[in-house]
Amino acid sequence: MMNQLKTVLLMSVLSVILLAIGLLIGGKTGLTIALVFAIIINFLTYWFSAKIALFIYGAKEADKKKYSRLYESVKGVAFKFGIPTPKVYIISKEYANAFATGRGPKNSYVAFTDGILKLLTEDELKGVIAHELSHIKNRDVLIATIAAVIASAISYIATIGRFGLIFGGNRDENNGNIIGMLLLLLLIPFIAMIIQLAISRNREYLADATGARTLRESKGLANALLKLENADKSGFRGNSAGASLFIVNPLSGQAFINLLSTHPPLKYRVEKLNSMKLN
């Protein structure tokens, strides 16, 4: 419940920032443009983000005969969650990772790399499946996508505002105000990005907890996370925009400040899982 409330609060703050920056730059007209801009992008993202994500990472629908055990595991965990079985996809790469995408339980996909299927035991893989299906049940993919779109819209509008101030008229008369506004328009997108990433980290904690409670077992996922964190990620080809989809940060080899990471520190996730009382 606390994680859900945090998400609602952070999303509300993002939305207020978006509307405020539109009002600041263009008055009521700017506010309207910001709102319409966000609605259009959210609509397009809602319908097409899943297919785009699967395409970007080269995911192909899994052969039901070749991956029969994986299909059965996904089906069994989906039954425990009380949701339709998502479509199962395979990424033919040796790095170990997995992600879920889709608009919600009735339109969902879960993708696994060949590497993760080779690396994990059956119980560990089931923990990963439960984590990913938690994202689907909680509609985390949609929430994270909307947060990213709002943050991007804020950045876009702030950029327009900065160009308007730099190349607009009366710079000499209002030099002090212009400098202050420029600093504000530089700071606001950074704050929006921090909030967006906080939402992503919050949903990871929630997915860990939801998966463990549904299976009534947390050790499998905790052990899987440790293995995945230590696994070779050199084969990953992607960018930071898609990193939040995966169960562990595929770019974690890079030096991230915690506030700028899409995922919580692994040690905290494992500690929370190991401390859960499920009986």
Q: Tokens representing 230? A: 């230590």
Residue 170 — left, alpha, or beta (φ > 0 → left; ψ -120 to 50 → alpha)?
Answer: left
| Of 124, 132, 204, 229, catalytic | 132
* Strands of 7-120, DSSP E: 59-61, 87-91, 98-104, 107-113
Buried/exposed code over 117-150 (b: 16+ C-beta within 10 A; e: otherwise): bebbeeebbbbbbbbbbbbbbbbbbbbbbbbbbb
Contacts of 23 (CB under 8 A, 6+ apart): 30, 31, 34
Tell me which residue of 133, 64, 97 sits closest to 237, measured CA to CA: 97
Q: Tokens representing 34? A: 């910001």
Active site residue 132: yes
What residues are labeled active site? 132
